[in-house]
């Protein structure tokens, strides 16, 4: 190998965060195996598995584009990005464009074909925009006006999301914002005020019945698990049975009775962790959580190595998005979090979430590859 070839190889290795790539590939492989198992007993199982693979392939496009694009240049595109993000969140409510699925009008369709969930890519746009808003304060948000400016982005996004309404996605945006504000240096008293306002907003939502009945039932079941075991509590009950029956090592891939006998709903999407718990048991579940921990630590390392606060905030936003979705999805399957329609990153079937998660990997690689200012 010539000195020029060695130099090129070195530059390529510097641009790649090996742990992030390795754990992303590991989770994609793990998820692919579990989706194949979860859909094996379904009538269109082979077709759904193929669509899962297509979702991964399509997701490589935003990953590559985000990686190749210098994240610092995104500051110059904030206006268009805000407009695109707002349109994405509004689009499901456009007559003839939005379609209802799972109780929420959060998908768009064309010519009768359901395409994607626009709130998913909106998460990445939100991260980029809010990172720019926070970074302008140089790591110190110590004035009420500064905190209010940042929170206005969150309030605007959540209002648009709740028009669908999609409580789970709204909570993801809240988690992203609060995670970034911790890195952004917001004073503790502002966090207290924001938390109080969030609690009051939650009470207002329930008091004025702004949620749909099925969403209210999910919250009530979370508070009182035995409230309606054959109705609103059915999903949680079957999930607990599946995970509990897996024991230490599980029943084996494709041998889960709760999923194969169709007791477990949404087993390839929201409740993929329940399938994993039943078929691969406690050890399989711990293996997945360990892989997630390694992925999150890789994102944290990228955040701390960033050459500027803007890059650190972008990386932290992606980390916050993944962390909350992991905690919420796994937590809801065992009854320690309310049931929402939040997918498990890199594991659940669904092209919209897969493309978004791989786009998040691309943003992280963009921050990492430019940590030296090149």
Q: What confidence tier does 18 reach under pLDDT thresholds 50, 70, 90?
A: very high
Out of 105-114, 151-160, 231-240, 331-340, least confident range: 105-114
- pLDDT tens for 26-84 read 999 999 999 999 988 787 878 889 999 999 999 999 999 999 999 999 998 999 999 99
Q: What's the pLDDT at 213?
A: 65
Share of the chain above pLDDT 90, in %: 52
- pLDDT tens for 350-361 read 888 999 999 999
**Alpha carbon of 165 to those of 63, 93, 177, 214, 345: distances in Å?**
29, 10, 19, 11, 21
CB atoms within 10 A of CB 132: 20
Q: Return the bridge partners of 114, or none.
A: 109
Q: What's the pLDDT at 4?
A: 46
Q: What's the pLDDT at 10?
A: 56
Average of per-residue pLDDT across 286-309? 96
Average of per-residue pLDDT across 137-166? 89
Q: What is the DSSP string of 334-368?
A: HTSS----PPPTTTSS-HHHHHHHHHHHHHHHHHH
- pLDDT tens for 309-336 read 999 999 999 999 999 999 999 998 988 8
Q: What's the pLDDT at 261?
A: 72
Tokens for 326, please give them.
């992991």
Average of per-residue pLDDT across 289-294? 97
Q: What's the pLDDT at 110?
A: 67
Q: What's the pLDDT at 218?
A: 66
Edge-first strand listing for the sheet containing 113-116? 98-101, 104-110, 113-116
Average of per-residue pLDDT across 156-160? 91
Q: Is the pTM of this model over 0.85?
A: yes
CB burial of 270-281 (b: ≥16 within 10 Å; e: otherwise) equals bbbbbbbbbbbb
Q: What's the pLDDT at 296?
A: 97
CA dist 311 and 17 (Å) reads: 15
Q: What confidence tier does 121 reach under pLDDT thresholds 50, 70, 90?
A: very high
Average of per-residue pLDDT across 365-372? 92
Average of per-residue pLDDT across 2-23? 71
Q: What is the DSSP string of 239-264?
A: HHHHHHHTTTT-S-TT--HHHHTT-S
- Check residues 215 and 190 and name the one with the higher pLDDT: 190
- Check residues 90 and 9 and name the one with the higher pLDDT: 90
- Check residues 99 and 350 and name the one with the higher pLDDT: 350
Q: What confidence tier does 203 reach under pLDDT thresholds 50, 70, 90?
A: confident
Q: What's the pLDDT at 258?
A: 82
For the ranges 113-122, 212-221, 241-250, the maximum mean pLDDT occurs at: 241-250
Q: What's the pLDDT at 282?
A: 95
| Domain range list for the chain | 18-369
């Amino acid at each position: 190998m010539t000195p020029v070839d060695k130099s090129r190889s070195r530059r390529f290795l510097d641009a790649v965060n090996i742990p992030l790539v390795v754990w992303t590939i590991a989770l994609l492989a793990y998820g692919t195996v579990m989706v194949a198992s979860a859909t094996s007993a379904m009538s269109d199982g082979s077709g759904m598995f193929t669509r899962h693979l297509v979702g991964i392939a399509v997701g490589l496009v935003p990953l590559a584009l985000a990686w190749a694009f210098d994240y610092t240049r995104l500051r110059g595109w904030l206006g268009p990005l805000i407009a695109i993000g707002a349109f994405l969140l509004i689009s499901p409510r456009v007559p003839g464009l939005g379609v209802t699925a799972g109780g929420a009008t959060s998908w768009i369709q064309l010519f009768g074909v359901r395409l994607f969930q626009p709130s998913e890519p909106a998460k990445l746009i939100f991260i980029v925009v809010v990172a720019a808003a926070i970074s302008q304060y140089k790591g110190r948000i110590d004035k009420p006006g500064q905190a209010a400016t940042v929170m206005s982005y969150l309030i605007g996004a959540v209002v648009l999301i709740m028009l669908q309404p999609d409580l789970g996605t709204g909570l993801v945006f809240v988690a992203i914002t609060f995670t970034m504000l911790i890195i952004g240096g917001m004073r503790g008293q502002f966090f207290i005020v924001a938390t109080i306002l969030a609690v009051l907003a939650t009470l207002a939502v329930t008091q004025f019945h702004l949620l749909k009945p099925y969403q209210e039932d999910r919250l009530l079941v979370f508070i009182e698990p035995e409230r309606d075991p054959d109705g609103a509590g059915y999903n949680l009950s079957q999930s607990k049975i599946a995970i509990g029956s897996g024991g230490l090592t599980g029943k084996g891939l494709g041998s889960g009775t709760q999923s194969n006998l169709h007791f477990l709903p949404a087993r390839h999407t929201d409740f993929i962790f329940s399938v994993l718990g039943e078929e691969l048991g406690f050890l399989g579940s711990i293996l997945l959580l360990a892989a997630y921990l390694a992925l999150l630590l890789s994102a944290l390392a990228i955040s701390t190595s960033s050459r500027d606060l803007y890059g650190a905030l972008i990386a932290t936003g992606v980390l916050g998005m993944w962390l909350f979705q992991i905690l919420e999805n796994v937590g809801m399957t065992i009854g320690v979090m309310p049931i929402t329609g939040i997918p498990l990153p890199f594991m659940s079937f669904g092209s919209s979430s897969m493309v978004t998660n791989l786009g998040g990997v691309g943003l992280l690689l963009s921050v990492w590859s430019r940590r030296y200012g090149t």
